[in-house]
Amino acid sequence: MATDHVDVLIVGAGLSGVGAACHLRRHCPDKTYAVLEARGAIGGTWDLFRYPGIRSDSDMFTLGYSFKPWTNPKAIADGPAIREYVRETAREYGVTEHIRFHHRVLRADWDSRAARWTVHAHRADTGEDVTLTCSFLHTCAGYYRYDEGHTPDFPGIERFAGQVVHPQHWPEDLDHTGKRIVVIGSGATAVTLVPALAERAGHVTMLQRSPTYVMAMPSRDAVADALRRVLPQRAVYPAVRWKNVLLTTANFQLSRRAPTIVKRLLRRAARGRLPAGYDVDRHFSPRYDPWDQRLCVVPDGDLFAAITRGRASIVTDTVETFTGTGLRLGSGEDLPADVVVTATGLNLLALGGATLTVDGEPVDLAGAVAYKGMMLSGVPNFAMTIGYTNASWTLKADLVATYVCRLLNHLDRTGAHVVTPVPPPDDERLPLIDLSAGYVLRSIDTLPRQGARAPWRLYQNYPRDVLLMRYGRLTDEGVRFSRAGTPERSTVRA
């Protein structure tokens, strides 16, 4: 196994990696491949996160694969259902037997003379180091650290007599029944945790430094339910998928072009679900415009319902210090707690922490420019999957996977061996992830950049990307094709 060679090596057996392998089976059936997974299970994010209420904040008609209809009645699905969907897909397409678990990729080295990658991995189960080679490397490891989440350095945290938990590593034996719980944070994880914990806790308080836009969405799709009564599933799934894509795209575009209108609509919707006199402006009206940070979705308005029933509350304030019995806030108020949950975000980590070299020269990720949001300037036969920030992750993952298959088939047809993106001719660079969320801003300088125009610009627009990546030309000004033995002149030297 230490000397194996495959045509395509996929890193990560989560939603993206399993999807990439399935697309290979469908569009490049003659290609050999393997999937390296650092952990011991399929599912990625949906296997790692086990906190109460874990669910998607995107509908499953768009978070699901394009080739594998989602048949569960719930459009907003819980984590276990999504995990089983990914595992079922892997079994159905014969991917499971190609996955090598406990393989953490440490380094990948490109050799232009051989036109192949040498990939170095460490096996956590045996402690040995292994080496594989491949002609094309596709990383599907997401963009955050799996081994630790982000927790700020809270003053006095060592004095707290209760339990402090980060959602990324939820203890299986934590019994929160009847307890006073403070959830620090206001993002997707926090708004998921609060109503789920409130079902059994004594009381749950969501402590936020600043508000987030929160929108209620039905957990079931009424259009899908109606169509299922008259159409076969194979027709329902793509129809509802495109309906939801277009609605999400319209929401995003309206938010960008008329943020004041969207703010007013979101505020009115929140007010309609909360008790009379509730301070909506303080707790649900952010200072930023909609989609400057990802908008949080709550199925069937469960967060609003928990607040209305008195099972949960929101406090908008800062943490001055932990005390022995809870938290002292910036306002001077003491907030008692038995359990504090730090839903304070993720730590970004590109390529799962692996490093790259091209012909012996280290690749500086921060100096590279993304091509079509999926390849890197100066890095041959390489793709990475980073999903949308304004829509379902899998929409982009599907496009990247099918584009990789198009590239592989193009190389076979033309007799070329290598495809290498080149940087844009101008010097204008933009952040790769266009969000002002804290977890992005903390690490944005370590990630690749994007250019100011296509094909180096990611427009966060799925219909536009379908035309570009599924039907657009493979040969353009942003990429060059060559044969083995042609050294790469690196533009991303560290």
Say how many C-beta atoms besides its own lie within 10 A of residue 260's C-beta.
9
pLDDT at residue 138 is higher than 70 = yes
pLDDT at residue 436 is higher than 70 = no
Strands 99-101 and 103-111: unpaired
pLDDT band at 36, cuts 50/70/90?
very high
Residue entry with tokens 């730090």: 342
43-52, 79-88, 483-492: least confidently modelled range? 483-492
DSSP states along 227-260: HHTTS-HHHHHHHHHHHHHHHHHHHHHHHHH-HH
Q: Give the model's pLDDT for residue 494.
A: 42
- pLDDT-above-70 percentage for the chain: 96
Q: How far apart are CA 454 and CA 232, in angstroms?
A: 38
Q: What is the mean pLDDT of the chain?
A: 92
The predicted-structure confidence for 252-263, as pLDDT tens digits, reads as follows: 999 999 999 999
0.85 exceeded by pTM: yes
Specify whether the CB–CB gap between 79 and 136 falls below 8 A: no
344 φ, ψ to 5°?
-105, 15
Name beta bridge partners: 139. Answer: 11, 384
Query: Mind spelling out the 3-state secondary structure of 100-135?
Result: EECEEEEEEEEECCCCEEEEEEEECCCCCEEEEEEE
Specify whether the CB–CB gap between 377 and 367 falls below 8 A: no
Q: Give the model's pLDDT for residue 391.
A: 87
Q: Give the model's pLDDT for residue 438.
A: 60
**Tokens read off for 371:** 């091509």
pLDDT at residue 18 is higher than 60 = yes
Closest by CA position to 464, among listed 253, 296, 321: 253
pLDDT at residue 111 is higher than 70 = yes
Mean predicted confidence (pLDDT) in 19-41: 97
Mean predicted confidence (pLDDT) in 350-364: 93
Closest by CA position to 297, among listed 385, 197, 390: 390
Q: Give the model's pLDDT for residue 441.
A: 59
The terminus-to-terminus CA distance of the chain in angstroms comes to 31
pLDDT band at 431, cuts 50/70/90?
confident
The predicted-structure confidence for 334-355, as pLDDT tens digits, reads as follows: 999 999 999 988 777 888 889 9
Strands 418-421 and 382-384: unpaired
**Tokens read off for 392:** 């379902």
pLDDT at residue 131 is higher than 60 = yes
HSE-up of residue 329 (Cα within 13 Å, Cβ side): 17
The predicted-structure confidence for 203-257, as pLDDT tens digits, reads as follows: 999 999 999 999 999 999 999 999 999 998 889 999 999 999 999 999 999 999 9
Q: How far apart are CA 170 and CA 49, in angstroms?
A: 8
Name beta bridge partners: 430. Answer: 450
Cα 438 to chain centroid distance, Å, stands at: 15
Closest by CA position to 289, among listed 318, 258, 312, 314: 258
pLDDT at residue 492 is higher than 60 = no
Say how many C-beta atoms besides its own lie within 10 A of residue 395's C-beta.
22
Using DSSP's 3-state secondary structure scheme, residue 180 falls into strand
Q: How far apart are CA 42 and CA 86, in angstroms?
A: 8
- Long-range CB pairs of 220-226 (<8 Å, 24+ gap) are 220/73, 220/74, 220/75, 221/59, 221/61, 221/75, 224/61, 224/75, 225/73
Mean predicted confidence (pLDDT) in 24-49: 96
pLDDT at residue 489 is higher than 60 = no
Mean predicted confidence (pLDDT) in 56-81: 94
pLDDT band at 151, cuts 50/70/90?
confident
Mean predicted confidence (pLDDT) in 460-476: 92
List Cα–Cα distances, 473 to 132, 403, 459, in angstroms: 32, 11, 17
The predicted-structure confidence for 387-406, as pLDDT tens digits, reads as follows: 888 889 999 999 999 999 99
Specify whether the CB–CB gap between 10 and 138 falls below 8 A: yes
pLDDT band at 80, cuts 50/70/90?
very high
pLDDT band at 433, cuts 50/70/90?
confident
